[in-house]
Structure 1
């Protein structure tokens, strides 16, 4: 059984590898703004989950040919602040504005996951869901925000932050699953795998 990660995120790949899984990576290339626009009226949780499902579905034709027996994992994360979903900032100016608003506040990082099981190149099961994790932001100074923006990291991550890099200095605490904030929730992924009758331990790399 091959594990396929439908994401270009190095953080998600790192989390899975640290947790014993070495996935094959296939980037979906999904039109994320279009998927988001089509689901916005259904609410934040549904939107993030729909994005994850779209990514998993997009790579299925290629995966079915190359890895007919596989489990595909799609992921998406967005920050919910003041009723608005935020993905990756478009530019440094937007990231600065968002950090000014987030400073000293709290928000919810919504992580949507979708799992698709293939047997003999055919889809036999699907499951999807989301994880909500609270984030308590610190109060970085203007100089610190400027330095953080200069790293380029805020433009690569949902909500302009991550806790496994430079942004970790500016997060006071996480209420919930910390792996979800990095990009992929291990508890949620394990649950979704169980939904399609896959035990996560069967996906772990073989020990020498």
Structure 2
């Protein structure tokens, strides 16, 4: 068993933090102020990898001492369109009217820096089957405000879980980061994920 270094999450996402806590990892949370407008005209996979790397690299530069740093970014792709967080309630309603009864692909980019500031960048993709819900259910869901804070206008681990019929692929990826992929990325850097359990 190695003496695990500090694990820094370069994200303000409560869902990502909670996912890590649920598997015994207590990250230092240091949100990135990375300017996401730098990413233009990229395919979904390239986009989330580019943004995850940008977020992680920004935090790596701000740290006073070396640490493992994880940056993530998620988008939903439907009919070739890429969706991040909706710009407001009306947009979230319109998106749900488009998504209901359909299948989208949720992309999450992961960028992990080690103590030597070497980076691994990976993407995980999960298929999301949206329930064919009514206009009144969409209005009620958007009124909870939950969809306004989520890529794709839904949270699988919240009210939105009621309106997802099926997930094909990594479940945690849809919530914000792929736990199996994180385990593999840590192993590539020579760590066992159990080294990070807070005992």
Q: What is the TM-score with the length of structure 1 in the denominator?
A: 0.91
RMSD over equivalenced CA pairs, Å? 1.1
1:133-148 matched pairs, under 5 angstroms: 133-148=126-141
Flag structure 2 segments of 5+ consecutive residues without an equivalent. none
Q: Distance in 2 between matches of 1:162 and 1:173?
A: 14
Partner residue of 1:10 out of 6, 10, 14: 14
Distance 1:33 1:133 in 2: 25
Correspondence 1:159 to 2:156: no
Structure 1 residue 61 displacement after superposition: 2.3
Q: Is the 8 A contact 1:114 1:192 kept in 2?
A: no
Q: Give the gaps of 5 or more residues in structure 1.
A: none
1:204 deviates by 1.3
Shift, 1:195, TM fit:
2.0
- Does residue 24 (structure 1) correspond to residue 21 (structure 2)? The answer is no
Rounded to whole Å, the distance in 2 between the matches of 1:150 and 1:81 is 23
Aligned partner of 2:81 in structure 1 is 84
TM-score using structure 2 length: 0.95
**Aligned length in residues:** 195
The residue that corresponds to 1:50 in the other structure is 50
Residues 126 and 196 in structure 1, CA contact (< 8 A), matched pair in contact too:
no
Equivalent runs, 1:27-176 vs 2, <5 Å: 27-35=31-39, 37=40, 40-41=41-42, 43-63=43-63, 65=64, 68-118=65-115, 122-123=116-117, 125-176=118-169
Divergent runs of 4+, >4 A = none
Q: Distance in 2 between matches of 1:87 and 1:47?
A: 11
CA distance in structure 2 between the partners assigned to 1:102 and 1:196 by the alignment: 38
